[in-house]
Amino acid sequence: MTVHKVGQDISVLNDCLEVPGIGFLPVNAFVLHAAEPVVVDTGVGLPDRDFLGTLGSVVDPADVRWIWLTHPDRDHTGGLFALLDAAPRARLVTTFLGVGIMSTERPLPLDRVYLLNPGQTLDVGDRTLRAFRPPLFDNPATTGFYDDTSRACFSSDCFGAPMPTAELASSDHAGDATEEELRDGQLLWATVDSPWIHNVDTAKYLATVQAVREMEPEAVLSTHLPPAVGIAPRMIDTISGAPGANPFVGPDQAALEQMLASFEPEGTPAAPVVPG
C-alpha cells in the first residue's frame, strides 16, 4: 500500500487491483485527521495486505474515534474487525442495511455501531460531516460525506475509474491520467459498477449529480480513483453522461476459456489461442 496526503487533513491509503480486460483499479481508504480522527473504509482483505500497519504509519489506531464505512463490500471491509480491536474507542458509522449485510458474515458489536442516514450529520469535534447518497453506487447501504472544512467530498465508488497502468492507479492525483483516459475510465466504471444507470429517469439522476456540483468540492476522494483535487467540475460533467454510455458486457465462458488457454499449467503465458 502507498500513502498520499491531500492538504493537511487527509491521508490516502492506496492499494490497487488488476482487473483483466478492465485495467488497474485503485482501492483507497482514507484518514481524516479531525479532532476525533475518522478512518474511511478499511481496504481489501487479501492475506498479503497489512492495513493496520499502513494505517499506523499515519495515525495511532488507538486514537481513531470513528470508522466510516461507505458500504459493506469486501474491498471496503478488509481491515474492519482488526481495526475495531485496535481502536477500542472507535464507533462504526454505517446504516441499518449495512449492519444487516455485514452480520451475514460476522456479527457486529451493536454497542459500537452508529447508524447514520444520508441527509444526517456527524460531529467529529472540529467539524461536521454531512452524509449523502452518491449519484452512482452499487450497494444500497452506500453513504458518502462532505467535509466543508477541507472541502473534500468522500464519494465511495462514485467517480471511480480503472487506470491503464498500476503506476497511474497508485498516483497521488487523478489528473496524472490524460483527460481522455480519465473520462473513458469513469464512464466505463459507471456502467460496470452501476449498471442500473441505463434504466433510470435521467432527470432524476441528474438532480443527484447537481447536488454534488452544488457542494463545490475542492477534492473528490473516491475509493476507486486517485485523489482528484481541483478537477471536480469536469468529473461531474463526465458522470452526467453516464446514462448514455455504452452498457458494459463482461466476458462470457468462451472468452474465459480463451484467456485460460493463453496460460501454461504453471502460469507462464503461452502463445495466444486463435479461435477456429
Nearest to 238 by CA among 90, 142, 135, 91: 135
100 falls within a domain: yes
Question: Is 244 inside a domain boundary?
Answer: yes
Residue 146 has pLDDT above 50, yes or no: yes
Coil, strand or helix: which one is 32?
Answer: strand
Run of H or E residues at 205: helix 202-215
| Cα torsion through 5, 8, 10, 13, rounded to 10 | 30
Distance in angstroms (rounded) separating the CA atoms of residues 8 and 85: 27
Residue 53 has pLDDT above 90, yes or no: yes
**From the centroid of its chain, how far is CA 67?**
14
Q: Which of 13, 65, 16, 67 is nearest to 37 (CA)?
A: 65
Provide the β-strand partners of residue 66: 38, 91
Q: Is residue 275 part of a domain?
A: no
In whole angstroms, give the CA distance from residue 254 to residue 23: 20
The residue range of the domain holding 186 is: 2-261
Does a structural domain hold residue 246? Answer: yes
47 falls in which pLDDT band (50, 70, 90)?
A: confident
DSSP symbol at 247: P
The CATH number linked to 183 is 3.60.15.10
Confidence of residue 274 (pLDDT cuts 50, 70, 90): very low
Does residue 86 lie within any of the structural domains? yes
Write phi, then psi, for 144 (nearest 5 degrees).
-95, -175
pLDDT tier at 262, thresholds 50, 70, 90: confident
- Residue type at position 245: A
What's the whole-model pTM score? 0.91
184 is a domain residue: yes
How many whole angstroms separate alpha carbon 67 and alpha carbon 207? 29
What's the domain count of the chain?
1
Strands 121-123 and 128-132: antiparallel
The answer to the question of residue 26 being in a domain is: yes
163 contacts 176 by C-beta, under 8 angstroms: no
Domain annotation covers residue 276: no
pLDDT reading at 170 higher than 80: yes
Q: What is the pLDDT of residue 48?
A: 83
State the average pLDDT over residues 133-154: 97
Residue range 174-188: mean pLDDT, rounded: 97
pLDDT tens digits for range 77-120: 999 999 999 999 999 999 999 999 999 988 899 999 999 999 99
- The pLDDT of residue 106 is 87
- Burial per residue of 116-148, b for 16 or more beta-carbon CB atoms within 10 angstroms, e otherwise: beeeeebebeebebbbbbbbbbbbebbbbbbbe
**pLDDT score, position 124:** 98
Measured distance CA(81)–CA(72) in Å, rounded: 12
Mean pLDDT for the chain?
Answer: 93
